[in-house]
Amino acid sequence: MKDDMDKIVSLSDGDRTVELQKYLSSLSNDQLTTVLTNGALKGKKVGTMIKGIFKGSPSSSTEGSTRRLLVYQHCIPLCESGDLQTEVAADIIGLLMLETHTLPGPSLAKLASLFVEAIKVGKMGSGKSLELFPTVLTALSACEALSYGKGELSGEEYKKQLINSLCSSRWDPQCVIHLTTMFRDVPLSSEELQFLVEKVLRMFTKLDLQEIPPLVYQLLLLSAKGCKKQVLDGIICYFKEQDVHQEEEQKHGESLDLEVQSIPQDQLRHVEGTVILHIVFAIRLDHELGREFLKNFKTSYGDLCPFSVALLLSVARIQRYEEQVFDLLKGSIVKSFKDEQLQQGSKFLQDLLPGPCSVDHMILDTVKNSVFGWDHVTQGLVQLGFSLMDAFGPKPGPFGKTIEGASTIARTPTQQACKLGGQVLLQGFKMHEPIRGEILEQVLNRLVTKTASPVNHYLDLFSDIVVSAPMILLESSSKVTETFDHLSYLPLTTVQGLLKAVQPLLKVSMSLKDALILVLRKAMFSSQLDGRKSAVTGFLLLLKNFKVLGSLASSQCSQAASSSQVQVDVHSRYNSAANEAFCLEILSSLRRCLGQQADVRLMLYEGFYDVLRRNSQLASSIMQTLFSQLKRYYEPEQDLLPPVKLEPCITALGDQVFLQEPLAHLLSCTVHCLLWLQNMRRSANPIANDSDDEDEEKEEEGYQSELETILESMTRRMIKSELEDFELDVEVEKQSHFAIVNMKTASTATLLVLSQVDRVLDEVDWLIAKKKSQAPSDTPGPGGATQTAGQQDPIEKAVKLQLGTLLTALNELVQTALLPGSCTITLLRELSRTYTTLTTLIKYYIQVCASQPGALPARLEKLVKLSGSHLTPQCYSFITYAQSGEMSVGGADDKKKKKRNEVNTAASAKLLRETKAIPNVIFSIEQYEKFLITLSKKSKVNLMQYMKLSTSRDFRINAASLDAALQEQDGSQETNQSEEKEEEPKKKKRKQ
């Protein structure tokens, strides 16, 4: 056989073509294939030999074409066998590619069929020869005509049949990546590409998880030809299903004590991270892919999942997409919360639709998953968290005033979005060390700089960070210390929240405590009232949290300690004395506040009770302070009423009177502290035998008994006191209206009913939008009118029933003589919105008729008839009534009432003109009728037969008003004539 190979090579090199052709003709097919096999295995001169065979096999002759085809048919499986060296196989495929265009059409068809059959039976595992397949298909598509079955097909059609056959058959999982790579070089029509992409996406579930990233990479490269949306949807859908499967396995595994998972979680997360990197890289190179990705996300908010969230956050690292991504995420999060709130607040929607997916769980799952090396996602999570908190946090109140209240459960969609942002940042802080410094710095910066806006949401986040990771925060204590320097300039509510949040840190960091005390002492002498109030707040918090040895445990208190405080107590017996001296020094500073403004003293009184409960060893100092302050306002003369001196409690400045002493708070604080102390001493006495405690109790008994005497005297005399003793006027207001709806409550009741109308319209609009967003193939055609009620689309049926009920209710309202003003304008607005919603429904059926022609549902015709007969005519009557300013108020003869009515009517008319409520209603009705005409033409059903001609904008003659005016004119003429007759004789007498 070596001689045969050498002979072929020598004849080819010597340009003895005729001899070479004769020699090749003398060889049988088996001999030729044996020569090819031996040469390929040895790897020597095989390329030269193949060139010689092609040289001696002219494609113009039948014999030469047949021999060439034989070489291809033998070399392709030989290269796939794995017996050849990689370089040898690559050289052979390269030579075959160069000569492919010389093959006739039938040979190309046979070769293509050879590839297809080999792929079907799984003989293309290595994929080395698949590089040749695109060349074969390209040459095949250039052929004019090929026999196929009993007829003929063009080369392009033949290629299409091959691709369809290939994509319809079973693929060996080992060759999926090779085939996807190969098809990148095959010219494909959009239909062929779509068929191919669907096939590759279906193969995802057949592959090992580790093979997904390289396949995704090749699929993304293939998407340069088209089908970008389909590729992205398929990838996201696959990982969404994997996440669901993983979650179900965890649930069932916990219940069944299963430890083995089909796909380990860490492996899945690492694969997801790699795929995200591939997609982001592809988007960087192909901006059209990025635009398609964002466009697709805008139209499919409901498909949000942890993988797609992570992908979006990674895409946000590309500067040109950053703003779009965060706008989309914020919009989708708020929309999801709104949808969830809408469904939770409506039994009608709950029965109609399944519950929505929880968007906050998806976002937080993304944070949880990012711990598996998703460094490209963490920065996006930080930006998302602060973006949500900045955009949806509480807003400043009127006139720039900050309105902050206690933290409550997030109820509105914006509050839920803000809370979600805080949860993202908190979880990110716990899980990712590299972003901790940035999160803490940004939170503290917002606390210091946003003085004109509420920052309680950032205070809550900071408090949660301190509670969850106090020791981690100590590494960044310098940033907290820098924030202390701004305390005197921050709003009081911010100071209170900040100092409350850092209490656990003060217990484990002496340097942080010393820095805070220095700042508070300076603030005590601040020229600003808020600065002094901030100092009082800080000192009270320190007194509550630095316990003196012997204080009752918090579990013995009547109320539990605040849940926001961490019970971190590193104080032992040796520093309790220092704590006591420290607390007494603070109390001495706080006593100076008793000579300051009422607001400062008020804070002191409100804080002493909490301090006593948390630090009971300070009871003597606190009670003596309260006792001495109370005696200043106590009237010792037992016969005088009232028992308190009110004059020192107030101060006058010109015509204004100011509170000097919040006496009520002082009394309340004193009584609460005394009662609590008595209860605690009573419960602690049976186990207390210390002589020091006995001495202390005797000392306390002295002021306690005197204090009790004062309080008893005050109570007894206050009972005897009358209002006149306080020099206050008595006001008695009598009300005798018991009906729920009367002249006083009619406006409020009407507005409440109209608010419910608005809510129903919200639900209906949401359902129509949901139906319009569905694919036409998923939407039942209007031919449902011929079906039974049970077969009709439940959402469409519910929409029409709700609107029918609403139209009936509005029919009653527009026939009600409402008072001019807000009720009339609100009703006009709801009418306008009702017709807009009806128009939206009609547009939906126009869309349905265009895609699925058929008869309109009977319920729709009834709804249109109801609107035309029951609502529209009454609407125009109500518009006339509103424009005329008629009022159903009695007492028209009363001149004062008449004048007031004229003023109200003029004001209402002006309001109507300014709000443009009437033109909006008329426009909405006309738009509704316009699209009814369009639907009538599309459906061949005359819906306009139920609508009456509009006259509200035409020239009108009000017959009743005309008769009244004519009668008034006749009456005035008769009066004038009678006066003239009476005056004429008098004039004649004077002349005589």
Confidence of residue 992 (pLDDT cuts 50, 70, 90): very low
pLDDT tens readout for residues 885-907: 544 444 444 555 555 555 555 65
Distance CA 443, CA 458 (A): 6
Where is pLDDT greater, at 753 or 821?
753
pLDDT (tens digit per residue) in 228-245: 888 888 898 888 888 888
Q: How confident is the model at residue 649 (pLDDT cuts 50, 70, 90)?
A: confident
Backbone angles phi, psi at 147, to 5 degrees: -75, 135
Q: Is the pLDDT of residue 787 over 80?
A: no
Q: Would you say residue 837 has pLDDT above 90?
A: yes
Residue 838 confidence (pLDDT): 92
What's the average model confidence in pLDDT over 538-556? Answer: 65
Segment 932-938 shows an average pLDDT of: 87
Structure-token match 């007498």, residue found? 989
CA 232/CA 226 separation, integer angstroms: 11
Task: Tell me the per-residue pLDDT of 697-729, one tens digit each, with 9 for 90 and over.
Answer: 666 666 788 888 888 998 888 888 877 777 654
Evaluate if residue 561 carries a pLDDT over 60: no
Whether the per-residue pLDDT at 979 is higher than 70: the answer is: no
What's residue 698's pLDDT?
Answer: 61
The answer to whether the bond into 642 is cis (omega within 30° of 0) is yes
Examine the pLDDT at 571 and tell me if it is beyond 50: no
Question: Where does the pLDDT of residue 913 fall: very low under 50, low under 70, confident under 90, or very high at 90 and above?
Answer: low
What is the C-alpha to C-alpha distance for residues 772 and 843, in angstroms, rounded to an integer? Answer: 10
Residue 653's pLDDT is what?
78
pLDDT, residue 847, reads 86
Distance (Å, rounded) from C-alpha 681 to C-alpha 667? 21
Residue 105 pLDDT > 50? yes
CA 125 to chain centroid, in Å, comes to: 47
Task: Give me 75's structure tokens.
Answer: 């070399």
Own/partner contacts of 730-738, CB < 8 Å, gap of 24 or more, are none
Mean pLDDT in residue range 876-892: 64
- Assess whether pLDDT exceeds 80 at residue 323: yes
Model confidence pTM above 0.75: no
Mean pLDDT rounded to a whole number for the chain: 78
Categorize the per-residue pLDDT at 825 as very low, low, confident or very high, splitting at 50, 70 and 90.
Answer: confident
Mean pLDDT on 947-954: 58
**pLDDT of 318 strictly over 50:** yes
Ranking 132-136, 362-366, 692-696 by mean pLDDT, the lowest is: 692-696
Q: Residues 3-11: what's their mean pLDDT?
A: 72
Q: Is the pLDDT of residue 974 over 60?
A: no
Which residue, among 525, 676, 667, 675, has the nearest Cα to 605 in the 3D structure?
A: 667
Q: What is the pLDDT of residues 366-411, one digit of tens each?
A: 888 888 888 888 888 999 999 998 888 887 766 555 554 444 566 7
109: CB partners within 8 A, 6+ apart: 140, 146, 158
What is the Cα Rg of the chain in Å? 44
pLDDT for the residue numbered 689 = 53
At residue 646, does pLDDT exceed 80?
A: yes
- List, for residues 398-454, the tens digit of each pLDDT value: 655 555 444 456 678 888 888 889 889 998 888 888 888 888 889 999 888 887 788
* pLDDT attached to residue 840: 92
Q: Kindly indicate the confidence band of residue 574, based on its pLDDT and cuts at 50, 70 and 90.
A: very low
DSSP 644: B
pLDDT, one tens digit per residue, over 654-663 is: 777 788 888 8
Report which listed range, 401-410, 647-656, 966-975, is most confident: 647-656
Q: What is the mean pLDDT of residues 100-117?
A: 81
**pLDDT over 60 at 90, yes or no:** yes
What's residue 791's pLDDT?
60
498 touches 463 (CB < 8 A): no
Question: Residue 570's pLDDT band (boundaries 50, 70, 90)?
Answer: very low
The per-residue pLDDT for 832 is 92
Long-range contacts at 315-321 (CB < 8 A, ≥ 24 apart) = 315/279, 315/280, 315/283, 315/290, 316/380, 316/383, 317/280, 317/376, 317/379, 317/380, 318/280, 318/283, 318/284, 318/290, 320/287, 320/290, 321/283, 321/290, 321/294
Residue 835 pLDDT level (bands cut at 50, 70, 90): very high
pLDDT band with cut points at 50, 70 and 90 for residue 786: very low
Where does the pLDDT of residue 972 fall: very low under 50, low under 70, confident under 90, or very high at 90 and above?
A: low
Least confident of 170-179, 391-400, 859-868: 391-400
What is the rounded distance in angstroms from the CA atom of residue 163 to the CA atom of residue 176?
Answer: 14
pLDDT at 565 over 90: no
pLDDT band at 822 (very low <50, low <70, confident <90, very high): confident
User: Which of 351-365, 369-383, 957-971 bottoms out in mean pLDDT, i.e. has the lowest?
Assistant: 957-971
Query: What per-residue confidence (pLDDT) applies to 834?
Result: 92
The per-residue pLDDT for 157 is 80
Helix (H) / strand (E) element for 117: namely helix 105-120
Is 13 or 575 the better-scoring residue by pLDDT?
Answer: 13
Report pLDDT digits (tens) over 598-645: 888 888 888 888 888 888 888 888 888 888 888 888 988 888 888 888
**Would you say 883 and 917 are in contact if contact means Cβ atoms under 8 Å apart?**
no
| Residues with Cβ within 8 Å of residue 422, at least 6 apart in sequence | 385, 389, 457, 460, 461, 464
139 touches 103 (CB < 8 A): yes
The rounded percent of the chain whose pLDDT value lies above 90 is 5
CB atoms within 10 A of CB 723: 9
Per-residue pLDDT band for 989 (boundaries 50, 70, 90) equals very low
**Res. 204: pLDDT tops 80:** yes
Q: What is the pLDDT of residue 839?
A: 92
pLDDT tens string 476-518: 788 888 888 888 888 888 888 888 888 888 878 888 888 888 8
Q: DSSP letter at 340?
A: H
Whether the per-residue pLDDT at 776 is higher than 60: the answer is no
Q: Per mean pLDDT, which range of 235-249, 459-473, 668-682, 972-986 is the poorest?
A: 972-986
Length of the chain measured in residues: 992
pLDDT surpassing 90 at residue 836: yes
Q: Quote the pLDDT of residue 773.
A: 78
Answer whether 284's CB lies under 8 Å from 318's CB: yes
